[in-house]
Amino acid sequence: MSIALGVDPFNFVVFGGTGDLAIRKLMPALLFSECDDRLPDEASIIALGRTELSQQEYADIVRAGCKKYMADNLFSEEKWEAFAKRLCYFKLDIDEKQDFLKLAEHLDKTADRVRVFYLATHSSLFAAVGEGLHDANAIHDQSRIVLEKPLGMDLKSAKETNSQIARFFKEDQIFRIDHYLGKETVQNLMVLRFGNSIFEPVWHHGMIDHVQITVAETVGVEGRGGYYDKSGALRDMVQNHLVQLLCLVAMEPPAQFDQDAVRDEKLKILKSLRPIMGDHVEKNTVRGQYAEGAIDRTATHSYLEDSGIEESNTETFVAIKAEVDNWRWTGVPFYLRTGKRLRQRFSEIVIDFKPVPHQIFPSPGQGMKPNRLIIRLQPDEGIKLIMTSKVPGPGGLRLQQTPLNLSYSDVFRKRAPDAYERLILDSVRGNSTLFMRRDELEAAWSWVEPILEEWEKSEEALVDYPGGTMGPTASTALIARDGRSWHDGGET
Catalytic residues: 241
Closer residue to ligand BG6, CB minimum distance, 90 or 227: 227
Least distance from C-beta 381 to ligand BG6, angstroms? 12
- 34, 99, 209, 217: which one binds ligand BG6 (CB under 6 A): 217
Q: Write the interaction track for ligand BG6 spanning residues 177-216; mark x where CB under 6 A is met and - where it is not.
A: ----------------------------------------
Report in angstroms how near the CB of residue 217 gets to ligand BG6 at its nearest.
Answer: 5
CA–CA gap between residue 326 and residue 434 (Å, rounded): 24
Is residue 292 within 8 A of residue 467, CB to CB? The reply is yes
- Do 122 and 20 form a contact (C-beta atoms < 8 A)? no
C-beta of 319: minimal distance to ligand BG6 in Å? 17
Which residue, 236 or 348, is less far from ligand BG6 as judged by CB?
Answer: 236
The nearer residue to ligand BG6, 66 or 181, going by C-beta atoms, is 181
Q: Smallest gap, in angstroms, from Cβ of residue 228 to ligand BG6?
A: 7
Q: What is the rounded CA–CA span in Å between residue 189 and residue 262?
A: 13
3-state secondary structure of 94: coil
Distance CA 214, CA 293 (A): 21
Q: Which is nearer to ligand BG6, 46 or 233 (CB)?
A: 233
Site for ligand BG6 in 428-447 (CB under 6 A): none
231 and 239 Cβ atoms separated by less than 8 Å? no
Shortest Å distance, C-beta 380 to ligand BG6 = 14
Fill in the per-residue mask, 260 to 299: x = in contact with ligand BG6 (CB under 6 A), - = not in contact: ----------------------------------------
Using CA atoms, how far apart are residues 301 and 221, in angstroms rounded to an integer? 10
Q: Give the E-state strand segments of 252-391 in sequence order.
A: 285-291, 293-295, 298-300, 317-323, 333-339, 346-353, 372-378, 382-390
**Least spacing, CB of residue 236 vs ligand BG6, in Å:** 5
Does the footprint of ligand BG6 cover residue 306 (CB under 6 A)? no
What is the dihedral sign for C-alpha 420, 423, 427, 428? positive
Size of interface with ligand BG6, in residues (CB under 6 A): 3
- Determine which helix (DSSP H) or strand (DSSP E) holds 175, and give its type and residue range: strand 174-176
Task: Identify which of residues 209 and 217 has a Cβ nearer to ligand BG6 in the complex.
Answer: 217
- Based on CB atoms, which residue is closest to ligand BG6, 253 or 379? 379
| Smallest separation (angstroms) from ligand BG6 to the CB of 347 | 6
Smaller CB separation from ligand BG6, 99 or 440: 440
Site string for ligand BG6, 336-355 (x = CB under 6 A): -----------x--------
Q: d(Cα 191, Cα 194) in Å, to the nearest integer?
A: 5
236 touching ligand BG6, by CB under 6 A: yes
Cis previous bond, 150, omega within 30 = yes
Contact between 381 and ligand BG6 by CB under 6 A: the answer reads no
SS3 460: coil
Query: What is the strand order of the sheet 346-353 is part of?
Result: 399-407, 382-390, 372-378, 346-353, 208-216, 333-339, 317-323, 285-291, 463-466
What is the number of residues in the chain? 492
**In the complex with ligand BG6, which residue's Cβ is closer, 285 or 347?**
347
Whole-number minimum distance, CB 253 to ligand BG6, in Å? Answer: 27
Residue type, 143: S
Whole-angstrom distance, CA of residue 23 vs CA of residue 27: 6
Sign of torsion, CA 197 198 199 200? positive
Beta-strand pair 174-176/208-216: unpaired
235 Cβ contact list (under 8 Å, min separation 6): 150, 153, 448, 452
Closer CB to ligand BG6, 43 or 181, in the complex? 181
Using alpha carbons, list the distances in angstroms from residue 404 to 57, 106, 163, 335, 373. 51, 56, 49, 24, 9
Residue 274 DSSP label: P
Which residue is nearest to ligand BG6, using beta carbons?
Answer: 236
What does the binding site for ligand BG6 look like in residue numbers (CB under 6 A)? 217, 236, 347
